[in-house]
Amino acid sequence: MPKAKLPRKSTNIDMTAMCDVAFLLLSFFILTTKFKPSETLAVQTPSSVASKIAPQKDVALVTIDKDGKVFVSFSEDAPTKEVLEALNTNRTLGLSDAELTALSKGPFFGVPISQLKSLASQPKDNWPKMNLPGIPVLDTINNEMVDWMRAIKTGFQGIKMNLLVKGDNASKYPAFKGVIDAFKKNDEMKFQMVTNPEGVPEGTELYKRNMSRNAAAETTEE
């Protein structure tokens, strides 16, 4: 007796559940992705072949723009209010607690110390739009970065501070020298320069050293 042949049916896969999962994952990544915020101070940093990533936590950043204006800013987790409190005490500025709180929420500081009180009355969103004069550093007698660095060291007491310097490629040397002099007067010479990383040009001594180092590492692994 011949066997009954079962009719062949085409394979049908229900993709509804797969589509639901894909859209859920897409929604999750869109909602949780943290985009890099636009820079409040536009600075064109010089290029370098350094590959080390700048720290993001406990940062005190000194920025020098193309006009030689100097600004100070801090990472979100940095003790900004403590720094301002130390500056308020050292220079007897008479800032109230409300003014200190308002200043600590600002994006950066770029005015003479005597103008901090008036800056506190301005909405922080307006600061990037204002033509701020920068922190005075060119006068060796009145280099206010010395006071800022003294206050920064006090505010970061007990915390490992990451001191960064970010200078525009077109900034002039006197402003940079004023910043470095302020570091020296506070015995703070360990800092990192923020640059624009690029590949090592082929044929240079650094390129040859890197290639030799990589070859030696591969030989060791074998």
Q: Based on the structure, what is the number of domains in the chain?
A: 1
Q: Is position 50 within any domain? A: no
Q: Is position 163 within any domain? A: yes
Q: Is position 16 within any domain? A: no
In the block, which residue shows the tokens 């922190």? 135
Which tens digit of pLDDT belongs to each residue from 138-177? 988 889 999 999 999 999 999 999 999 999 988 888 999 9
Mean pLDDT of 1-17: 62
Q: Is position 67 within any domain? A: yes
Task: Give residue 211's pLDDT band: very low, low, confident or very high (50, 70, 90).
Answer: low
Q: Is position 65 within any domain? A: yes
Burial class (CB in 10 A: 0-12, 13-18, 19+), 116: buried
Which has the closest alpha carbon to 86: 107, 124, 116?
116
Rounded to two decimals, the pTM is 0.72
Q: Domain span at residue 90?
A: 56-197
Q: Is position 8 within any domain? A: no
Q: Is position 2 within any domain? A: no
Percent of the chain with pLDDT over 90: 53
Q: Is position 153 within any domain? A: yes
